[in-house]
Structures are given as structure tokens and as C-alpha cells.
Structure 1
Amino acid sequence: MDKEKLDKEFEKLWNETPFSYSDDEKEASWEKFQSKTFAAKKPKIKIWRYMAAAAIIICMLTGTGIYLNRSPLQDTFYLTSNTIENTTSTIKIVGLPDSSSVELNPDSKITYANNFETNRKIVVEGEAYFKVKKDKKYPFQVFCNETTTTVLGTCFTVQGNVQKGVTVFLYEGSVQMSIKDQDKKWILKPGEKFIYGKNVAKVLEFNRFADFENEKLSAVSDYIMANYGYKMIIPEQYDNQRITIRINKKEDLKTIVQLISEMYNLNFEINEDLKQITFR
């Protein structure tokens, strides 16, 4: 019998008799006996105890759901999380802790961990448009159904639901797409969309710009109303003014408004409560 088995047998016998001694007394006596009999084994027992304590801590952390540095699609990735849901009928703007931003569509929600600055993983249900702050040290990852979108800094939209699968539209920068349990990666360029559904993935092109070629300024006004929900009021003398402009479909509203104001030398005011833009 090797020392380890012998050690266990002695300990078993030692704990069985005599019953009149307390547990503390038996433990002290056993340690004294063991140090004399198996002196070389003591460091190993200490190590085992530290490992056991570490295992208990890990189990406790796992039970509370702490992030384990693996994909959220495989493990619970947050101890305490932030879930933001848009229950309104308009787009909701959400500022993330790393200074990235999300335009959250109605009936959509996102979930991310409290340590988001260093753990930039976010789960999407529904549709959301992301403007990601660049951070080479901590890549930004969006999880939707079985897909993962990994970026360093870019602008893209994620649409996902159980029936139709997932579609990712890339407007600026570059993203890498991957699918759970698959090794293949897809790198998107601006103007490309990734579609995944019914276990089939493909990359297609889409038009990421809205082009106005010598059209009335009122056409841009209609575009802003339809896509941003803001009414644009322009002086009457500009009603028939012509404009040629290309607009990124996910451009900031304020950027578009500033461009128009500079083109026609107009001042503007944005009323957030009325969702109205007035040029003067």
C-alpha cells in the first residue's frame, strides 16, 4: 500500500476511536502523529487544502453567474448585468460605459456586464445600430442568436429574431463574423451585409447611401422625417431650392443638419421635445 492510501487508512481508524475525544482534540492529535510519520507529505496536504478552497470559491462564483472569460453563448457572462429594453415606438439612444453608443429599435433589448469597459461583450435581441469606440486592447463583440460580430471600431446594424435569423449591415470600418461551433470567419467591408438563417451564411452588398441628385430640398426634409422622425422647417423661399448630396444612411442627424446649414448659409435650431428642426 502506498503512503497516500496508508495515510487515508490511518486517518480513518484514528477518527473512529476513541469516541470520547472531541473533534478538535482528534484533529490536533492526528496532525501531530502525521507530522512524525509522514513528514514529507505535509506540504502536499497543504497544497491540496488550498486547491480545495480555490475550488469552493470558483463554485461560489459560478453559482452567482460571474464572467468566466468565455463566449456568452456558452456561459453566463455577468455577475450583475445591465439590460436595457426599448418598449417605446421610437428609436432609443443608449450610451455605453466605454463611450460607444447604440440606437435601439422598438421591441429590442441589449444586455451587458457591469465591467463593460474591459469586457465589451453585448447580447442583442431585436435590432440595434452600433457606433463603437475604437479600443485595440478590448475588442467589441455583439452576440445575436448563434452569431458573433467582432469589431475594434466601426458602425453597423444587427437585426436578429428566431424566425428570420440574423442580418448584419456594415456602414463604416470592418467587422469579423463568426458562427457558434464553426471555424470559418467572414470579414465584412463597408456596404456589405452578412445574412445567417437556417444554418446558411452568405455575404451580399447593399446600398449604404441615400443619394439626392439635383432634387428639391423638400426631398431631404421628407427623408429626415421618415428616417429620423424629425420635421424640418425651411424658409419659404428655399422650397424649390435644388440640392445634390449623398448621405450615409446611418449618419448623425446633427451632421446632416449642419451640412445643409453650411450649404445654404442658414442657422438652425433643434427642438428635441417637438422633434423639430427649424432653419432661419
Structure 2
Amino acid sequence: MDKKKFDEEFKKLWEESPLSHSDSDKEASWEQFHAKTFSEKKRKFRPWHLYAAASVLLFALIGTGFYFSSESTNENAVVAETVIENLTAKIKYVVLPDSSKIELSPNSKISYGANFALNRKIEIEGEAYFNVKKDKQHPFQVFCDETTTTVLGTSFTVKESENEHVTVELFEGSVQMNVKGQSQKWILKPGDKFTYGNQTVSVTEFSRFVDFDNETLSVISRYIEENYGYKVNIPKENLDQKITIRINKREDLKTILQLLSEMYNLNFEINEDLRQITFQ
């Protein structure tokens, strides 16, 4: 294989790095490595010796964690500058500096650094639902106990129980799970439930939808009230109309309201002060 071809193939291997490294980081590290390894001074060696040595060096760096390490993701995860705690009995809605949204459950806490928009790492104690804004250049990582959730998609819940079991349920997109001290990675797909406790990992399925089969709109309105915290007013003539629908348990409220309004030719209004929704 000539040098140009080998150079191209070797660079491909180098760029196969985790999401925690941006494209600019990978390019910079490649240029630095390439300059040192393939400098004019070194070309007095026989090429095949040089290429073999370079290949061994790359995989040695990966194996020891000099370049990256899956075991280092939990260490010194977050230098907390901002701490948000929910001491109420209701869900607390939080918008992060990068516009990602969190529904923080009662008796739960999150913390993150001052440079969060560039270093999207966040720690959680308790339970929260995350709806993450996509940003390929800045991966979003959630640290809970000994687990790290690296976000490859958008919406999921993280829950730490009293017995220190951690549960992650993925509703949309994709996430990668790591456990401190373990080299294995788990890629979750929608509907997967990751559970970690007592040094043991399990991945099972959970139901991320709620089904309404030929139910009345009054039943749907109660579901909204119980799960979103809004009082729903529907015209009397529509209350007994039937509907068959499947709703993602973490569906955005406005998406549900818009669907209902289109199906029954209704308009809706949201009063945030009264936490009330009125169809007419």
C-alpha cells in the first residue's frame, strides 16, 4: 500500500472516536500526531516499520486511555456552578443554557458547570425527564451514581432509587450507557429500559405509550389533567365523543392539544396563570 493510501486509511481509523470528541478536536489531534509520526526526520526508517509502529501506537493509546477512555467518563464529571433542587411536591420545569428542557421530579436535584453550553455535562440525584437539544459538536452527558448516559438522541428519563439503583428509560432517539469501571457500552433504542444496581446491568423493554381504545374525550381530558397538571375544559357536546389514539407518555402537551383540535375542529387556549386549557 503506498503512503498516500495508507495515510487516508489510517486517518479513518483515527477519526473513529467517541462522541465526546468534536470534529475540530479530532482534526487537531490528527494533525499533531501526523506531524510527529510522519515527519521528514523519521523517513529514514523503512516505511513498513514506520506504519506498523504507528498502528501499534494508536491502539496502545486507545487501550490505555491516553486518547480516550470509557472508564474516565464518571471521574470529575461536573464542576458544579449551578445547582437546581426541587423541594416542592410538583414537577419543576427547567430550561438549561443550551435550551434543553428538564422536568425535575420532587426531591430531586441537578447540577452543572458555568460553561454548560460548551461542556454539556450534568449530574442528577433523584429523577428527571430530559428533552435534549441536538448539538453534534457538544455531546450531552448525564451522570447518576456510577452510570453515564451519553445522549445520541432526544428524550429519556433518569431515576436513582433509594437503594442506589439507576434506571434509564428511552422514549425517543438513542443513548449510550457506560458504567464506571466497565469497558462495555450499551446502546439503547426507544422502548429500552436500562437498570444498574449491585454491579449488575440489565436491559429490558418498557411501555412508552398509553393507548385509548374507543374512549371518550372526557377520559383524555382526565389523562391530561393527571399527567400535565392542567385543568381541561371541553364543550359538553364533545365530551362523549369517542376516540382511539396512542400517545407517547412523554409527548409534548401542545402536540396532543393540536391533534385533538384538528380531529374535532376545535380551537384551544392555554392559560398558564390558571394552569387551564379551554377548547371551544
TM-score range, shorter chain: 0.7 to 0.9
Aligned partner of 1:267 in structure 2 is 267
Q: Distance in 2 between matches of 1:74 and 1:255?
A: 39
Contact 2:157 2:168 in 1 (8 A): yes
Q: Secondary structure at the match of 1:169?
A: strand
- Kindly report which structure 2 residues correspond to 1:197-236, keeping only aligned pairs within 5 A, or say none: 197-236=197-236
- Long gaps (5+) in structure 2: 1-70
Show CA shifts across 1:63-119 (max 9, x none). xxxxxxx957422632x6110111111111111111111111111110000101110
Distance 1:92 1:276, change over 3 A: same
Contact 1:168 1:194 in 2 (8 A): yes
Distance 1:106 1:72, change over 3 A: farther
* Residue type at the aligned position of 1:74: E
- How far has the Cα of 1:148 moved from its partner? 0.4
Q: Secondary structure at the match of 2:85?
A: strand
* Residue type at the aligned position of 1:244: T
- Long gaps (5+) in structure 1: 1-69
Aligned partner of 2:78 in structure 1 is 77
Contact 1:132 1:152 in 2 (8 A): no
- How far has the Cα of 1:162 moved from its partner? 4.2
Q: Percent same amino acid among aligned pairs?
A: 63
Q: Distance in 2 between matches of 1:130 and 1:71?
A: 23
Contact 1:144 1:166 in 2 (8 A): yes
- How far has the Cα of 1:255 moved from its partner? 1.2
What's the C-alpha RMSD, in Å, of the aligned pairs? 1.5
- Kindly report which structure 2 residues correspond to 1:70-109, keeping only aligned pairs within 5 A, or say none: 73-75=74-76, 77-78=78-79, 81-109=81-109
* Residue type at the aligned position of 2:241: Q
Contact 2:73 2:148 in 1 (8 A): no
* Residue type at the aligned position of 2:97: P
Aligned partner of 2:163 in structure 1 is 163
Show CA shifts across 1:150-175 (max 9, x none). 01331000001341410000000000
Show CA shifts across 1:33-64 (max 9, x none). xxxxxxxxxxxxxxxxxxxxxxxxxxxxxxxx
Contact 2:74 2:148 in 1 (8 A): no
Moved >4 Å (runs of 4+): none
- How far has the Cα of 1:135 moved from its partner? 1.3
Q: Distance in 1 between matches of 2:265 and 2:77?
A: 54
- Kindly report which structure 2 residues correspond to 1:47-66, keeping only aligned pairs within 5 A, or say none: none
- How far has the Cα of 1:272 moved from its partner? 1.5
Q: Distance in 2 between matches of 1:100 and 1:152?
A: 14
Aligned partner of 1:138 in structure 2 is 138
Q: Distance in 2 between matches of 1:127 and 1:110?
A: 9
Q: Distance in 2 between matches of 1:231 and 1:164?
A: 36
Show CA shifts across 1:10-30 (max 9, x none). xxxxxxxxxxxxxxxxxxxxx
1:194 counterpart = 2:180: no
Question: How many residue pairs end up in the alignment?
Answer: 210
Contact 1:145 1:162 in 2 (8 A): no
Contact 1:224 1:230 in 2 (8 A): yes
- How far has the Cα of 1:137 moved from its partner? 1.5
If you compute each CA radius of gyration, which structure gives the higher value, 1 or 2? 1
TM-score by length of 1: 0.72
